[in-house]
Amino acid sequence: MHGVSSNGLMISARTTSAEETRALAAALADIVVPGDLVVLSGDLGAGKTAFCQGFGSALGVTGPITSPTFTLHHRYRGRVEVNHIDVYRFDQLDEVVDLGLAELLDSDAVTVIEWGDTIRPALPADYLEVSLQLGEGDDDRTLVLRPVGARWLARSRVLGEVAAHWPVTPTEAGAC
């Protein structure tokens, strides 16, 4: 489902298991290029880490992908390098400076940031935001894809094609 709000283009999808969220993330991983940033937002337990697992394994990461909540940053070597960052425990925006985000994004790596919406002023002009929202059932999640900046807006059509594999049901679409 597509919509244009004041926040720009939003593409919604719905998953009904962690496996589906991993599969959607894997499909998105197929369209990323080195230097890309994916920002994940959503409450604790929404599935951000599950998303990273599907995303990372599709990029060739073979080891387990765990939440970097206590270390802030995990670096994995797959088909490309994958930076997995979680800024949940950041108290101050200047802690982001220590991460060297600009350098990470300038490299050949793909970067994914859990709770990235909380450091919005530190984000670059281009990123894909994936907002995960709890649904009615325990395992229901709505994922809203929001391409930000020309680099991602150019991929809007393919983002829509990916999301179409996990459609929002007509009832839920009506409620949007």
**By the criterion CB under 6 A, which residues form the site for ligand ADP?**
15-18, 20-21, 42, 44-50, 67, 114, 139, 141
Task: Give the one entry of ligand ADP, Mg ion, none that residue 38 binds, where binding means its C-beta sits below a cut-off of 5 to 8 angstroms depending on kind.
Answer: none
61 HSE (CA, 13 A, CB side): 24
Task: Give the one entry of Mg ion, ligand ADP, none that residue 42 binds, where binding means its C-beta sits below a cut-off of 5 to 8 angstroms depending on kind.
Answer: ligand ADP
Q: Does 67 bind Mg ion (CB under 5 A)?
A: yes
Residues 6+ apart with CB under 8 A from 155: 31, 147
Q: Which is nearer to Mg ion, 22 or 48 (CB)?
A: 48
Q: Does 41 bind Mg ion (CB under 5 A)?
A: no
Task: Give the one entry of ligand ADP, Mg ion, none that residue 85 binds, where binding means its C-beta sits below a cut-off of 5 to 8 angstroms depending on kind.
Answer: none
Task: Give the one entry of ligand ADP, Mg ion, none that residue 116 binds, where binding means its C-beta sits below a cut-off of 5 to 8 angstroms depending on kind.
Answer: none
Q: Which is nearer to ligand ADP, 21 or 147 (CB)?
A: 21
Q: Which of 171, 116, 159 is nearest to 12 (CA)?
A: 159
Q: How far is the CB of 86 from Mg ion (least distance, A)?
A: 6
The kind and range of the H/E element at 136 are none
Q: Report d(CA 78, CA 100) in Å as an integer.
A: 21
Q: How far is the CB of 154 from ligand ADP (least distance, A)?
A: 27
Q: Which is nearer to ligand ADP, 49 or 83 (CB)?
A: 49
Q: Which is nearer to Mg ion, 64 or 170 (CB)?
A: 64
Strands 8-15 and 127-134, by their bridges, are: unpaired
List Cα–Cα distances, 48 to 5, 85, 112, in angstroms.
23, 11, 10
Q: Report d(CA 116, CA 119) in Å as an integer.
A: 6
Q: How far is the CB of 139 from ligand ADP (least distance, A)?
A: 4
The residue whose Cβ lies closest to ligand ADP is 47
Residues 6+ apart with CB under 8 A from 76: 56, 61, 63, 65, 82, 83, 84
